[in-house]
C-alpha cells in the first residue's frame, strides 16, 4: 500500500522568507501523481500544486514550487516570499495512475506559521 510521510508536524517562517516543507512517499508504482493541498484555519482545502511522476521538470505555480526527486521518492514544497496568508495546514497527497477509482492518500500534514 502507498504511504505518504510528512516528517515536520509544524514549521514557521518569517514573512518574505522562503520555507520548504518535506514529503516522502512509498510506492511500487512507476506512474502516479503528487499534490500539495493547503487548508487554512476554518477554510476549505485547496490545491496548491501538482506533479506528474512522468515529468522530470519540477512544477511551479507563482511563489510555490516543488523539488521532485523520483528516485528518492521525495516531493518537497518550497514557498518563496512567504506571506501571512500562507499560514495553513499543508497536506502532501499521492494518487496512483491506473484506471478506475483510486483515492488520494494524504500525509498527516504540516502546520505552517508565518511570522510578521
Partner 1 sequence: DAMVIQNPRYQVTQFGKPVTLSCSQTLNHNVMYWYQQKSSQAPKLLFHYYDKDFNNEADTPDNFQSRRPNTSFCFLDIRSPGLGDAAMYLCATSRDPGQTQETQYFGPGTRLLVL
Residues that bind partner 1 (CB under 8 A): 9, 32-33, 35, 37, 43-47, 50, 52, 91, 95-104, 106-109, 111
Taking the complex as a whole, the smallest distance from the CB of residue 27 to partner 1 amounts, in Å, to 13
Q: 63 or 95: whose CB is closer to partner 1? A: 95
Contact assessment for residue 16 and residue 114, using Cβ atoms and an 8 Å cutoff: no
Instruction: List the one residue out of 1, 3, 7, 28 whose CA is nearest residue 93.
Output: 3
Give the three cell numbers for residue 101: 477509482
Q: 99 or 116: whose CB is closer to partner 1? A: 99
Amino acid at each position: 500500500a502507498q504511504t505518504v510521510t510528512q516528517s515536520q508536524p509544524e514549521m514557521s517562517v518569517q514573512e518574505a522568507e522562503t520555507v520548504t516543507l518535506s514529503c516522502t512517499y512509498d510506492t511500487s508504482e512507476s506512474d502516479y501523481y503528487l499534490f500539495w493541498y493547503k487548508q487554512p484555519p476554518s477554510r476549505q482545502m485547496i490545491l496548491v500544486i501538482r506533479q506528474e511522476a512522468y515529468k522530470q521538470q519540477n512544477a511551479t505555480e507563482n511563489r510555490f514550487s516543488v523539488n521532485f526527486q523520483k528516485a528518492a521518492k521525495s516531493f518537497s514544497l518550497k514557498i518563496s516570499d512567504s506571506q501571512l496568508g500562507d499560514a495553513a495546514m499543508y497536506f502532501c497527497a499521492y494518487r496512483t495512475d491506473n484506471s478506475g477509482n483510486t483515492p488520494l492518500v494524504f500525509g498527516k500534514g504540516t502546520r505552517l506559521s508565518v511570522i510578521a
